[in-house]
Amino acid sequence: MNPTEEKKNIPFRKRISHIFEFAFLLIVFCVINLFPFSMLHSVARVFRVMFYPLLGSARKRIRSQVSTVLKITDEKELRRFVNANLDHTLRSFFELMQSWKLKKPRFLKKYVTFGEDVHSIAEDTSQGVVFAEGHFGNWEIPIPAYASLGFKIFFAAQKLTNPYADWVVRKIREGYGGGGAIYLKESERYVPLLRRKEPIGLVADQDAGKDGLFVDFMGKKASTHMGPAVLAYLGKAKLAIGFCIFQGKGRYHFYARTLYRFQGKSDFASTKDAAQVLTQLWVSELEKEVRKYPEQYFWVHRRWKTRPTEETPAEK
């Protein structure tokens, strides 16, 4: 559904608000695209300094989570970490605004190097693949990077509340050359695709609320979406995880690992058991990499917002 069709279902006041939001984003988009990709980290740093007063809530959230989870207590080190993480967060946002460039092979060759298991996963077409990712490094690059190898990944997408912004972001992502976006409301398409040995990617590390599965992440229980694990099991597919780590000057190193390969229904006693084991498996792998490059994780997310019912108030 394009923005013109969708706006019929939106109240007039909200529609006007969406138009102003979209106009502002277009202005930022135009400004950011004046700079080369290699300069976006420096641009992010400038924006972080310029808009310091507006980033108070984000700074507070990052400070709270990293002081608790990473045990950073030294004020000077904590301030440095928060600033570095905000630079990374802003750069990720700006890189999305320039992600239309990722469909160009020469651009990818210049800025992305391929590492561990990337090629072997693409070459093995014996099963479908579920790629689990976190909001870590650059989570947009794997789709166009794999597309450049002829490996077209379908990807799960969450619909943005602003239909104009949603339409533009979807068009940019469809231009990557992958299999295309599948909104979460179309999730019934996932398993049939996997059984046809197609690959699907999901960024699944957000807080999943009370319906999520609690697994250990960074030393705390975290409510986590079961999608990657359940899809790999029901879709008779592999479960893999990918990382795209910032190296400086716009350059990234992309590597991936296969964590599980479907053998048969006897792998687990039930789908519930598969969900528990495989979710913990990929989340633990994500944790290993986050501990190596903690400043590249999206700490502004309220990752541990939902707490287990058995947890006492003192443990929250």
pLDDT of 47: 96
Mean pLDDT, residues 236-250 taken together:
97
Confidence of residue 5 (pLDDT cuts 50, 70, 90): low
CA dihedral 221, 270, 187, 208 (to 10 degrees): -10
Domain total in the chain: 1
Residue 268 in tokens: 């687990």
pLDDT of 265: 82
Percent of the chain residues topping a pLDDT of 70: 96
Percent of the chain residues topping a pLDDT of 90: 81
Q: pLDDT tens digits, residue range 172-195?
A: 888 898 898 888 888 899 999 999
Mean pLDDT, residues 203-223 taken together:
96
Q: How far apart are CA 217 and CA 276, in angstroms?
A: 13
Is it the case that residue 20 has pLDDT exceeding 60? Answer: yes
Lowest mean pLDDT segment, chosen from 12-16, 172-176, 194-198, 308-312:
308-312
Is it the case that residue 156 has pLDDT exceeding 70? Answer: yes
From the CB of residue 109, how many other CB atoms can be counted at a distance below 10 Å?
A: 11
Is it the case that residue 97 has pLDDT exceeding 70? Answer: yes
pLDDT of 312: 54
Mean pLDDT, residues 226-234 taken together:
96
Q: Which domain holds residue 22?
A: 16-309
Q: How far apart are CA 249 and CA 39, in angstroms?
A: 6
| Residues facing 255 on adjacent strands | 243
Residue with more model confidence, 8 or 300: 300
Mean pLDDT, rounded, of the chain: 92
| Residues facing 241 on adjacent strands | 132, 257
CB 289 within 8 A of CB 243: yes
Q: How far apart are CA 259 and CA 285, in angstroms?
A: 9
Q: pLDDT tens digits, residue range 55-82?
A: 999 999 999 999 999 999 899 999 999 9
Confidence of residue 94 (pLDDT cuts 50, 70, 90): very high
Mean pLDDT, residues 233-258 taken together:
97
Is it the case that residue 12 has pLDDT exceeding 80? Answer: no
pLDDT of 183: 86
What is the pTM for the complete model shown? 0.91
- Give a yes or no: residue 214 inside a domain: yes
- Give a yes or no: residue 8 inside a domain: no
Confidence of residue 8 (pLDDT cuts 50, 70, 90): low
Residue 241 in tokens: 């995880």
- Give a yes or no: residue 118 inside a domain: yes
- Give a yes or no: residue 98 inside a domain: yes
- Give a yes or no: residue 7 inside a domain: no
Q: pLDDT tens digits, residue range 109-120?
A: 999 999 989 999
DSSP string, 96-159: HHTGGGGG-HHHHHHHEEE-TTHHHHHH--SS-EEEEE-SBS-SSTHHHHHHTTT---EEEEPP
